[in-house]
Amino acid sequence: MQIVFALYEEFTALDAVGPYEVLSRLPGATAVFAAMERGPVRTDGALTVMAEAALEEIDRCDVLVVPGGPGTRDVVLGDQRYVDWVRRVHPTTRWTTSVCSGSLILGAAGLLRGLDATTHWGLRKELEATGARYVPERTVEQGRILTAAGVSAGIDMALTLAARIGGDVAAQAIQLWIEYDPQPPFDSGSPAKASPETLDFVATHLAPG
């Protein structure tokens, strides 16, 4: 089972690494980090990772993971090679997935028209512009397309998918191995739970221009 993490400049590292730590531990899984060109790929911060394959060398895969990040904008508005590749490989996959703004790329490829889907809480309108119905859930499953909410939601999405692929026990074992027993010190992970001060801080310091 080949799992392709399709990277691009300025993706958000955790969007890819969260699902990777879950899905790559399924027995028989092979993870491939790929991008338009082989070689270093900058994330949206200080981290650079290596793409070991070029997307255009890959003509099929079992699982496709499209991460989000500020670079989504260039992927969607840029030269279309990445979006064209997603459109081409999707019919070959068992599962096509996205995390955070990665769903805007699936949408740009025309895969979400008329479907429920999710994305980062700040991008509802952008998702709906692709013809999807935004659902504020952690993971939205529509046939063989799974979309996850923002950044860290990819871990939850991947556990759901791991259970579909390998069964509940395999998914539970991976959860145990990565000790995913979350106990955040605050309960501020969604806009409905966040204080006005927190929302102000996000707008001032964290939201991209």
In whole angstroms, the minimum distance from the beta carbon of 130 to a copy of itself comes to 19
* First and final C-alpha spacing in the chain: 39
Side-chain-facing half-sphere of 196: CA atoms under 13 Å: 0
Alpha-carbon gap, residue 35 to 11, rounded angstroms: 11
Among 63, 89, 153, 165, binds a copy of itself (CB under 8 A): 153
Of residues 28, 67, 30, the one with CA closest to residue 49 = 67
Look-up of token digits 């969260």: 18
Of residues 175 through 204, those in contact with a copy of itself by CB under 8 A are: 175-191, 193-195, 197-199, 201-202
Which among 13, 36, 83, 100 is annotated as catalytic? 100
Question: Which CB, 83 or 104, lies closer to a copy of itself?
Answer: 104
Alpha-carbon gap, residue 51 to 8, rounded angstroms: 9
Beta 48-51 vs 53-54: how paired, if at all? Answer: unpaired
Alpha-carbon gap, residue 197 to 57, rounded angstroms: 48
In whole angstroms, the minimum distance from the beta carbon of 17 to a copy of itself comes to 4
In whole angstroms, the minimum distance from the beta carbon of 94 to a copy of itself comes to 19
Of residues 14 through 33, those in contact with a copy of itself by CB under 8 A are: 14, 17-18, 20-21, 24-25, 27, 30-33
Among 102, 160, 165, 209, binds a copy of itself (CB under 8 A): 160
How many residues touch a copy of itself (CB under 8 A)? 72
Of residues 112 through 141, those in contact with a copy of itself by CB under 8 A are: 120-121, 138-139
The yes-or-no answer on residue 100 being catalytic is yes
Max alpha carbon distance in the chain (Å)? 48
Residues acting as catalytic residues = 100
